[in-house]
């Protein structure tokens, strides 16, 4: 579908489809659309992003698949077990391998369009549970993204570094919230614009902090997880939609501050707003520190970013296999 960004509805004009939930973008990209805000990455956008590659620096934004604590922070996502075996009949001439218990969302990941469904309204674009999660259905699967591929402009908001410089370090321990004013103050301090079709990255420093914690602290966190992230709510939803970003990714575990205020109608579980209502995928546990160091050093917070999710038919999520290129 070809998109004229100038004609996109603003957040206050959503929804455009009769009967769709308030604040949802259902129908904006077509009634059968399964790509959501990825539609904002046009060929022109990708070509312009390529022109941002000037120094030839490449940053891998992916953790190892088994990098997370051995006691999973979300109990249902353990590290995969890796087996290498001699497939040459014992001649030690050739080796293969397999992964057991591989959960594509246990380490750096995309939350794809199948990841969450609103209990009352279903999946993105109004697709019903029985159309999506059933044998033989690939509806909203990560293969859509894998087959398309991602190459667009990335913008980094280094919130952790910005707050530290400003003398008010982000609280990494207590589930701190990051509001629109903070994102905007950081953006302005960095002198960068957010443009339609961008992949917006924000760094907190939480992931590096987590991985450096002693085992006892990681176990404690698995029992009671608190992590920084976006302050959920209408103001943040309007900010992300009205900037017309294609996706958002971060070095925290849930993009939104964790745990969500499930029972608070103004806050709630922000995954519903972003994934279900906007059709916007969420990148979590991305390794952003080296990229952030480089941006701080050269003052350039825009770059090309690519991602090739695993082509899992009907997949819920995937490691991002993401690169930033400057
Ligand atoms: C959950 O929704 C539990 O996880 P994630 O933060 O990966 O979306």
Q: Whose CA is nearest to atom 7 of ligand 1?
A: 254
Q: Which fold has domain 15-325?
A: Glucose Oxidase; domain 1 (3.50.30)
What are the residue boundaries of the structural domains of the chain, listed by start?
15-325
> What residues contact 50, with CB distance under 8 A and at least 6 apart?
151, 304
- Which pTM was predicted? 0.97
Q: Would you say the CB of residue 271 lies under 6 angstroms from ligand 1?
A: yes
Q: Would you say the CB of residue 114 lies under 6 angstroms from ligand 1?
A: no
- For residue 77, the CA-to-ligand 1 centroid distance in Å is 10
What confidence tens digit (pLDDT) does each residue in 141-167 have? 999 999 999 999 999 999 999 999 999
Q: Would you say the CB of residue 111 lies under 6 angstroms from ligand 1?
A: yes
Best residue for ligand 1 mutational test, from 229, 271, 280 (most atoms within 8 Å of Cβ): 271
Average pLDDT of adjacent 10-residue blocks, the chain of 326 residues: 88 98 98 98 97 98 97 96 98 98 98 98 97 96 98 98 95 97 98 98 98 96 97 98 98 98 95 98 98 98 99 98 99
What confidence tens digit (pLDDT) does each residue in 272-291 have? 999 999 999 999 999 999 99
- Strand pairing category for 247-250 and 199-203: parallel
Would you state the pLDDT for residue 3?
85
- For residue 254, the CA-to-ligand 1 centroid distance in Å is 5
- What is the rounded CA–CA span in Å between residue 212 and residue 232? 28
- What is the rounded CA–CA span in Å between residue 215 and residue 222? 11
What confidence tens digit (pLDDT) does each residue in 172-189 have? 999 999 999 999 999 999
Exposure string of 268-284, with b = 16+ CB inside 10 Å and e = fewer, is bbbbbbbbbbbbbbbbb
Q: Whose CA is nearest to atom 5 of ligand 1?
A: 254
- For residue 311, the CA-to-ligand 1 centroid distance in Å is 20
What's the count of helices (H) and strands (E) in the chain, helices before strands? 10, 13
What confidence tens digit (pLDDT) does each residue in 105-122 have? 999 999 999 999 999 999
């Amino acid at each position: 579908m070809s998109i004229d960004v100038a004609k996109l509805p603003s957040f206050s004009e959503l929804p455009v489809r009769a009967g769709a939930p308030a604040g949802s973008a259902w129908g904006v990209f077509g009634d059968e659309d399964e790509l959501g805000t990825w539609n904002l990455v046009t060929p022109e956008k990708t070509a312009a992003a390529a022109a941002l590659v000037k120094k030839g620096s490449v940053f891998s934004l992916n953790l190892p698949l088994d990098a997370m604590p051995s006691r999973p922070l979300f109990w249902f996502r353990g590290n995969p077990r890796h087996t290498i075996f001699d497939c040459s009949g014992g001649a030690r001439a050739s080796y293969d391998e397999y992964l057991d218990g591989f959960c594509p969302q246990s380490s750096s990941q995309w939350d794809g369009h199948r990841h969450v469904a609103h209990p009352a309204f279903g999946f993105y674009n109004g697709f019903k549970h029985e159309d999506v999660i059933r044998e033989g259905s690939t509806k909203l699967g990560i293969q859509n993204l894998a087959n398309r591929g991602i190459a667009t402009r990335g913008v980094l908001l280094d919130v952790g570094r910005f707050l530290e410089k400003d003398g008010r370090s982000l609280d990494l321990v207590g589930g701190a919230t990051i509001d629109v004013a903070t994102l905007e103050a950081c953006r302005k301090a960095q002198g960068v614009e957010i443009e339609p079709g961008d992949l917006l990255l924000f760094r907190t420093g939480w992931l590096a902090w987590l991985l450096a914690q002693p085992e006892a602290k990681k176990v404690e966190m698995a029992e009671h997880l608190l992590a920084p992230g976006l302050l959920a709510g209408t103001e943040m939803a309007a900010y992300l939609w009205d900037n017309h970003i294609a996706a958002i990714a971060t070095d925290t575990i849930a993009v939104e501050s964790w745990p969500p205020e499930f029972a608070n109608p103004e806050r709630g579980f922000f995954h519903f707003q972003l994934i279900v209502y906007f059709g916007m995928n969420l990148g979590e546990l991305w390794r952003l520190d080296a990229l952030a160091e480089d941006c701080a050093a050269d003052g350039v917070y825009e770059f090309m970013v690519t991602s090739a999710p695993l082509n899992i038919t009907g997949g819920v999520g995937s490691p991002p296999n993401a690169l930033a290129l400057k």
